[in-house]
Structures are given as structure tokens and as C-alpha cells.
């Protein structure tokens, strides 16, 4: 579904029929780690009630009033092309109640779905001006996917706890306890972003548009200067490049972030789009919402554990390879560790001909890929 009109100078895209997914469960597109956490939380009796009771402590009401008073609410009269996309996304994913959507003046491309009682979607002017119609459709579908999964509740909690951690930073133990929770929530939320990317693809049903959108978020509105295949090669280089030092830097770089790095998101989405699971969904074979209550928590955790096991075994990252070697009991493990940290071990001279020590070349043949040391940002 599409209105087929051109808006704000964006590329005109002819209207086309998109497949709809009646009664689709969010489990269809959720990343295994995201799905296992959500299934467990949904099984807890009264969980949503408890969190909604916290709404008096959280700034949700204030946020709603702020967006209502200082942003533009999307409707038939305002940003009508976004309103068409929003209604289409809810129709395709069979979300009965269309969440309110606001456009906020901010040059930084961003979008979010927050709220405890009811989700609200916010997109910035920077994002609206950056993306064309099909790219924006994938983003709107991404946010509707958050709403269908119930991510907005936990995102609001994450924003609140992050703010609280800053306020109590002067209390050592209190800050450590809150930051431990925040770190766990961020790891879950990074996986939920991969889930929402899949929802965006189900809505837009145009993989190239999803890829272009992620590429623009990373490199700006210079599409003629960028190439999707080369962008995906960056993800491959990031995954496999460097040695153990780079693996540690990757972990440190990603810990403060609530979103995965953009190249990683693009690679993960392409992998899912080429999978049998995606094809089955497009053929109409997917979990239904009315079956959610019968979902097994144990099965969901098993799927999550299997995913991480497969990821570690298939990963080209030096640290993940080391973990695989540990599990397999590699005989030359000590030598592998010394080679991995060759840049550090080479600082001390080795006696010539000393048996059992690696050569002076250290981790020869490995390249140092510097981690992307950016400050955390809530990109869509």
C-alpha cells in the first residue's frame, strides 16, 4: 500500500501492493535474545501492572505534554505522507490501535518509540529530511514493530534509569547497582533494535531501501558517494579484522550504546532477509498473536542459547574464536593468546632461541582495525 505521491522533494515511488500479515505475532521477527526476554516478562503475572504503576515516578506524562506542545503531531493535515506510512505499517502488521506520531525539530536523524501506558512514536526533522519515501517507510515500520513488541515500556524504563544513574553518580554503590541494570537493559535493547529492523523490512518489503536508510544514517545524504556492497564489506572487516586487543575494544565501544553499530545492523538484516525464516513469513507461514499465551519460556531461552552458541562458533572475531578454542580444549591455547596480544607481548625482548616462545613477529599477518569510538547516540 502506498499513496504514490511525491512529498518534500523526495523520490516519487509508484504505488504498489504490499503483503499483509493478519494476526502476526511479534515473535515472528524478534531476535532470539529479545524474544526470550519478552516471553519471560509476559509470563510474569502482574508485570505490566507493576511497571505501569511506576508511571507516576517516570516523566512519561511530562514527555507527552512536551511533544504535544512543542512538536508537530502527524495527521491528515500535518505531515500527511508520514500519516499514510504510519497507517499502512499498522495495517500490514495488524496493529489495531495506531499510535500517535510526532515530528520533532532536531537536525540529528533519530526516531524512537516510548511510553508505558500507550506507545508514542517520535521522528526528528533530520531523519525526515534525510530519507526518501521507501527508506522512511522502513523506519516507520521499525517503530511500529517496537510498539507491537511492547518495547516502548522497557525503553522508557531504560531512559529513566540512565537519567537516575547520572543523578546518583555521587553514591558509589547505588550508582554501580543501577548501572549494572542499565548495562543489561542496553544489551537487550541492542537486540530489540535488530528485531525492529526486521519489522521495518516486513512493512517496507524492500531490502535495498532498508540498506540505503541505514547507510544514510551512518554517512549522510550522499548516496551517490556510497555503495551498499562496500558498506556491508565494512561489517565483514569489523567482524573479522584485528586481534584480541581489537575484540576487547569492540566490547568497550558497544557497552554504552543502546543501538548496535549501523554496519552490523545492515549485515544482520541482510542475513535475515536471505534466510528461510523470512521467506516462510512472506509465504504466510508465521506465529499468530493468539498463540502467544501458549509460548514456552524454556523453549524461548533454548532458542536464545542456541543462537549465541551458533554465533560464537561461526564468528570470525578473534575473541570468539578463542572462546571456541576454550570450549574445544585447544592444545596450543597459550600460544594463541600470546599471538593474539602480540602487540603487548613484544614489548619485552625474548632470548634468542628460547623454546616455547612465539617468534618476534608476534601477531604477524593480523591487521589492527581501530574500533569506532563514538559517543553513544540514540539513532534509529
**Which residues are part of the catalytic machinery?**
143
Q: Report the 10 Å Cβ neighbour count for 71.
A: 18
Q: What are the Cα distances from residue 294, in Å, to 107, 206, 284, 330? A: 45, 32, 20, 42
Cell readout for 35 is 524474544
Cell readout for 145 is 514493530
> What distance in Å separates the CA atoms of residue 212 and residue 266, rounded to the nearest whole number?
9
> What distance in Å separates the CA atoms of residue 4 and residue 26, rounded to the nearest whole number?
28
Residues 6+ apart with CB under 8 A from 222: none
> What distance in Å separates the CA atoms of residue 268 and residue 35, rounded to the nearest whole number?
16
User: What is the Cα 208 distance to its own chain's centre?
Assistant: 18
- Look at the alpha carbons of 186, 187, 190, 196 in this order and tell me if their dihedral is positive or negative: negative
- Residue 80, class by beta-carbon neighbours within 10 Å (0-12 exposed, 13-18 middle, 19+ buried)? middle
- Residue 141, class by beta-carbon neighbours within 10 Å (0-12 exposed, 13-18 middle, 19+ buried)? buried
3-class secondary structure per residue, 58-99: CCHHHHHHHHHHHCEECCCCCCHHHHHHHHHHHHHCCCCCCC
Amino acid at each position: 500500500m502506498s499513496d504514490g505521491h511525491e512529498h518534500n522533494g523526495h523520490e516519487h515511488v509508484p504505488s504498489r501492493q504490499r503483503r499483509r500479515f493478519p494476526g502476526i505475532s511479534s515473535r515472528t521477527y524478534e531476535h532470539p535474545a529479545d524474544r526470550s526476554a519478552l516471553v519471560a516478562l509476559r509470563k510474569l503475572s502482574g508485570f505490566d501492572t507493576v511497571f505501569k504503576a511506576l508511571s507516576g515516578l517516570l516523566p512519561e506524562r511530562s514527555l507527552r505534554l512536551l511533544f504535544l506542545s512543542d512538536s508537530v503531531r502527524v495527521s491528515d493535515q500535518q505531515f500527511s505522507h508520514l500519516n499514510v506510512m504510519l497507517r499502512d505499517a499498522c495495517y500490514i502488521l495488524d496493529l489495531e490501535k495506531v499510535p500517535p506520531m510526532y515530528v520533532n525539530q532536531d537536525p540529528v536523524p533519530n526516531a524512537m518509540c516510548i511510553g508505558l501506558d500507550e506507545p508514542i512514536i517520535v521522528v526528528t526533522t533530520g531523519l525526515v529530511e534525510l530519507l526518501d519515501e521507501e527508506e522512511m517507510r522502513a523506519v516507520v515500520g521499525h517503530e511500529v514493530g517496537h510498539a507491537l513488541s511492547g518495547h516502548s515500556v522497557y525503553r522508557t524504563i531504560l531512559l529513566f534509569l540512565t537519567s537516575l544513574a547520572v543523578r546518583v553518580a555521587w553514591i558509589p554503590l547505588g550508582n554501580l547497582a543501577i548501572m549494572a541494570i542499565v548495562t543489561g537493559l542496553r544489551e537487550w535493547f541492542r537486540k530489540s533494535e535488530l528485531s525492529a529492523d526486521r519489522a521495518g523490512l516486513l512493512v517496507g518489503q524492500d531490502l535495498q531501501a532498508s540498506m540505503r536508510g541505514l547507510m544514510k544514517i551512518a554517512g549522510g545524504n550522499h548516496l551517490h558517494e556510497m555503495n551498499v556492497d562496500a558498506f556491508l564489506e565494512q561489517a565483514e572487516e569489523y567482524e573479522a579484522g584485528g586481534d584480541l586487543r581489537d575484540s576487547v575494544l569492540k566490547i568497550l565501544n558497544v557497552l554504552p550504546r543502546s543501538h548496535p553499530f549501523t554496519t552490523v545492523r545492515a549485515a544482520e538484516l541482510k542475513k535475515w532477509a536471505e534466510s528461510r525464516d523470512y521467506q516462510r513469513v512472506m509465504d504466510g507461514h508465521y506465529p499468530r498473536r493468539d498463540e502467544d499465551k501458549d509460548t514456552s519460556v524454556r523453549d524461548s531461552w533454548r532458542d536464545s542459547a542456541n543462537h549465541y552458541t551458533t554465533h560464537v562458533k561461526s564468528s570470525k572475531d578473534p575473541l570468539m574464536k578463542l572462546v571456541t578454542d576454550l570450549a574445544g580444549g585447544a592444545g596450543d591455547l597459550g600460544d594463541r593468546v600470546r599471538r593474539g596480544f602480540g602487540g603487548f607481548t613484544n614489548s619485552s625482548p625474548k632470548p634468542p632461541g628460547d623454546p616455547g616462545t612465539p617468534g618476534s613477529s608476534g601477531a604477524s599477518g593480523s591487521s589492527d582495525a581501530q574500533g569506532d569510538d563514538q559517543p553513544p547516540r540514540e539513532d534509529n
